[in-house]
Copies of this chain bind each other. A is one copy, B any other.
Amino acid sequence: MLHRERVIPPPGVYPADEWNLIETKFSPKFAEMSETIFALSNGYLGMRGCFEEGAPVVNDGTYINGFYEEWPIVYGEEAYGYAQTGQTIVNVTDSRIIKLYVDDEPFYLPRAHLLKFDRRLNMKTGTLDREILWETPAGKHVLIKSRRLVSLEHRHLAAISYEVTVLNAQAPVVLSSEMTADHSHAARADFDPRNPAARQGRILQPRRHYFDEQRAVLCHGTERSKMILGCAIDHELVTDCPFSSKTKCREDTGQVVFMIDAEPGQSIHLTKYMAYHTSATAPPQEICERVERTLDRAVSHGLPELYSSQERYLERFWRTSDLQISGIEEVRGLRTTTEIQQAIRFNLFHVLQASARAEGTGVPAKGLTGHAYEGHYFWDTEIYLLPFLIYTSPGIAKNILMFRYNMLEQARARAKTLSLKGALYPWRTISGEEASADYAAGTAQYHINADIMYALRKYVHATGDVEFLDHYGAEMLIETARSWASLGFFSDRKGGKFCINGVTGPDEYNTVVNNNTYTNLMARENLHYAADVLRTIQKERPKVFQTLTHRTGLEISEVDTWQRAADNMYIAYDEQLGIYPQDDSFLSKRRWDFENTPPEKYPLLLNYHPLTIYRHQVIKQADIVLAMFLLEHEFSLEEKKRNFAYYDPLTTGDSSLSSCIQAIVAAEIGEFDTALTYARVALLMDLADVGGNVKDGVHIASMGGCWMVMAYGFAGLRDHGGTLAFRPRQTPGHAAKLGFNLRWRGSLLHVKIAWDSACYTLVEGNELTLRHEDEEVRLTREKPSDTRPITRPAAG
């Protein structure tokens, strides 16, 4: 239930546009939020949407995915096995800055008299474009046109095109292009202030710096994590006006200053290339060479080629990944088609930005748009992001799963510390080591093991990538299944059922509980899938099996144990209420006094002691409801209805991971109003700043969740057990249409849902079989399209 209604879009900030996110005036009030919204990223390099002019700036974050500093975690009271090493993404060298002076007066937005202001995130070109007409105090009209991109094609490259024209006068113009690794001038937002290690000393230690003509190179290292960062800038100035330039470079700063005698109407066009390289092993010299090579290539190819490669990349992306809405009128407070379309694309675009080139890393909870959650990777990658990526960009999905495989060694060590067999994935991490300093709402969320395996299965089913399964997936399955087998036990007091005690489910308002139903259900999936896969491999690919047993010491008796544990998994059911209890004790807790909790007391975790929260029936985010989505085949429709009716009013939505899931389940059970309400919250999580914290970064999980709301919630996609099936739900309005693509085992399917019919079209590939409601639909090259009627329950 929405216990606090904050979904009021900031008025006039972002006018409706299908492909652009537009800002038509400079609002200091929304400056920090806009820095997030207009952030550019390719999943490796992220730059917040700060202005080139270097001011005003609230949080000048520039991030490299996986580039972190570490620090010893200090506990008020320590205990055995607590995570030892904190990891925090570093605010790296800021290379965006191009300061502009006209008549030696700086261009400073908050005080500038603007005749025009237009900033737009163009989701087709993948650029952040700005056009400003500034009237200087001397009455000179200065037209500033800038375009910024972080290249999706060239992982280490970003560029800015900055064009200045003094329209009506002569004027001395200075462009000072800078980069700085010294963030002491800005709010030190890159490190969690709770950690004393964070507060003292500089994070980036200078290693090398030099310049050559209009190129400057800075190289820094971190003290504890021993990582190396190289950042370099290069420039081209094109103008008919006379100019000179001067380059400087110090330990922490690089600067190329262009002094131009501007003539009226003559454009001055500066191109700035920025290159970033990082490494945990290569020496500074090597990193400097890499950034220089990236710059060399950029300069030689030129800006137009960079633009067009960006557009091509996005064209490919949207061709597969776009999700189109049409025909929606103002329905129950939901915004119009254009605005909805814009929000959908904005969400998908940011998911792409967060993940595209996240090669060898995970996807931080905020992507690379802010430092919140310290740049850590959580379970939401697998549960909220991967479905979209698996079905539209399986290559990216594979990279992310591969990253989990690569941290298996650390996960094995962590399991050992927890007295478990197999492997236990860290609740939050960058390096692969557990970085959660709160075991109750962190390490105890063992379900992350099952979540990753859930995503693995979805990936294998959708792609048919058995090779990945054999080489990497199966080993992860073995180790996660082992962890469950050792975590739980066959309980005499529960009729010999397999019980899992002392865990925390997705709902962090009920921690360290026994038999969290979500966890038990997901563990069962994990165990069943592991047993199935291992038996199949043993039978069908004995060589692979031999390698696996050799590598993991697997004995076949273990597989039998997994099977037995899965078959006998304890899943409680409350006959009295006809629902699944969230855990053994949940239903016996006192109901939270929602009636006497004023809106400003949400989120509860910031206003109540954990002990107060933990002893009540109150839910932070979908838990049983999430299980009903992920494992929808395990619940009857009536059960879903009863469970939703019970749990939804208890759910605060204090986590941004909640609304999208509640929307999907509400749609499935026919609570269409509720579904629309939640969908709206999920869709506008960032654009309407629902949680009031967009300034700290976008909510990547909710963004991925939006796609799920459309595909699973409204189009009724169901993919359990390796078949592709649809049971479309109601669209909002008779004229409403919803279209999107899915990749399935090499084919590309287009799905179009209308009021009373669903149309399935094979776009690529030879054939594809799917289920529509209870019918099989077979698409072939000969008959690539099939339209089926949608059966609806009587309107509720």
Contact = CB atoms under 8 A, between A and B. Distances in A.
A585 B585 CA distance: 8
Contacts of A606: 80
A185 interface: no
Nearest to A428: B77
Contact of A611 (B73, B439, B499, B584): B439
A671 B474 CA distance: 55
Interface stretch (A364-372, A475-483, A529-537, A587-595): A587-595
Contact of A502 (B74, B196, B611): B611
B584 A585 contact: yes
A590 B381 CA distance: 33
B491 A419 contact: no
Contact of A79 (B78, B444, B584, B610): B610
Contacts of A499: 588, 590
A76 interface: yes
Interface of A: 73-83, 86, 194-196, 417-419, 436-444, 487, 489, 491, 493-494, 499, 501-503, 511-512, 514, 584-585, 587-590, 605-612, 614-615
The 8 closest A-B pairs by CB, nearest first: A76-B437, A502-B615, A81-B609, A77-B438, A501-B615, A77-B437, A419-B612, A73-B76
A511 B437 CA distance: 18
A191 to B, nearest CB: 14
Contacts of A77: 194, 436-438, 441-442
B437 A605 contact: no
B609 A501 contact: no
A665 B76 CA distance: 36
Contacts of A512: 511-512, 611, 614
Contacts of A615: 487, 501-503, 514
13 contacts: A76-B82, A76-B437, A77-B438, A80-B605, A80-B607, A82-B609, A417-B609, A419-B612, A501-B585, A502-B614, A512-B611, A514-B585, A584-B588
Total copies of the chain: 2
Which of A76, A439, A443, A487 has the largest count of B CB atoms less than 10 A from its CB? A76
A487 B589 CA distance: 12
Nearest to A192: B77
A83 B76 contact: yes
Contacts of A438: 76-77, 79
B80 A76 contact: no
Contacts of A75: 74-76, 194, 437
A608 to B, nearest CB: 6
A484 B675 CA distance: 41
A609 B418 contact: yes
Contact of A609 (B80, B437, B493, B608): B80
Contacts of A612: 81, 418-419
A196 B196 contact: yes
A252 to B, nearest CB: 27
A588 B196 contact: no
A439 B609 contact: yes
Contacts of A196: 74, 196
A76 B81 contact: no
Contacts of A608: 80-81, 419
A443 B77 CA distance: 13
A514 B588 contact: yes
Given A76-B73, A76-B75, A611-B443, A588 B493 contact: yes
Given A512-B614, A588-B499, A79 B605 contact: yes
A418 B615 CA distance: 12
A508 to B, nearest CB: 11
A494 B588 contact: yes
Which of A437, A590, A606, A608 has the largest count of B CB atoms less than 10 A from its CB? A590
Which of A77, A437, A440, A489 has the largest count of B CB atoms less than 10 A from its CB? A77
Nearest to A591: B489
Given A418-B612, A444-B611, 4 more contacts: A76-B437, A77-B436, A196-B196, A440-B440
Contacts of A78: 194
Nearest to A437: B76
A443 B614 CA distance: 13
A499 B587 CA distance: 13
A513 to B, nearest CB: 8
Contacts of A609: 79-82, 417-419, 439, 443
Nearest to A488: B590
A418 B611 contact: yes
A263 B276 CA distance: 84
Contacts of A76: 73-75, 82-83, 86, 194, 437-438
A609 B612 CA distance: 24
Which of A195, A605, A615 has the largest count of B CB atoms less than 10 A from its CB? A615
Nearest to A609: B81
A590 B501 contact: yes
Contact of A589 (B417, B514, B605, B611): B514
A609 to B, nearest CB: 3
A79 B511 CA distance: 14
Which of A79, A83, A86, A444 has the largest count of B CB atoms less than 10 A from its CB? A79
Nearest to A442: B77
Contacts of A417: 609
A489 to B, nearest CB: 4
Which of A487, A491, A494, A501 has the largest count of B CB atoms less than 10 A from its CB? A501
A325 to B, nearest CB: 40
A83 to B, nearest CB: 7
A261 B324 CA distance: 105
A590 B74 contact: no
Contact of A493 (B83, B489, B587): B587
Contacts of A86: 76
A170 to B, nearest CB: 58
A74 B585 contact: no
A79 to B, nearest CB: 5
Which of A439, A487, A609, A611 has the largest count of B CB atoms less than 10 A from its CB? A611
Nearest to A499: B588
Contacts of A587: 493
Nearest to A513: B585
A426 to B, nearest CB: 14
A82 B194 CA distance: 13
B588 A501 contact: yes
Nearest to A440: B440
Contact of A74 (B194, B441, B444, B489): B194
A376 to B, nearest CB: 12
A589 B79 contact: no
Contacts of A443: 609, 611
Nearest to A587: B493
A591 to B, nearest CB: 9
A511 B79 CA distance: 14
A86 B77 CA distance: 11
A78 B589 CA distance: 25
A160 B549 CA distance: 73
Contacts of A73: 76
A141 B76 CA distance: 53
